[in-house]
Amino acid sequence: MDVIYATLIVRGYKTYSDVPSLIQPQVAEVLTELGQEELITEEAPN
């Protein structure tokens, strides 16, 4: 599930704040592995 959320975030369909808090650490790890650390934010995009 973490890879699915990370993919949706990278493609712009979801934001990190949309991820359930239980799996946010795992999603953050996947995003970091993908070099997309800038997408790990609790703020909604403008």
Structure confidence at residue 22 (pLDDT): 97
Domain that holds residue 9: 2-39
How many structural domains are present in the chain? 1
Query: Considering the domain boundaries, does residue 22 fall inside one?
Result: yes
Residue pLDDT, tens place only, 1-46: 999 999 999 999 999 999 999 999 999 999 999 999 999 997 655 5
Which run of H or E residues covers position 8? Answer: helix 2-11
Report the alpha-carbon distance of residue 17 to residue 15 in Å, rounded. Answer: 5
In sequence order, which residues have a C-beta less than 8 Å from that of residue 19 and are 6 or more positions away?
Answer: 5, 9, 27
Q: What angle do CA 14, 35, 21 make, to 5 degrees?
A: 40
- Residue 34's identity, in one-letter code, is L
* Residue 31 is assigned to a structural domain of this protein: yes
Indicate whether 23 belongs to any domain: yes
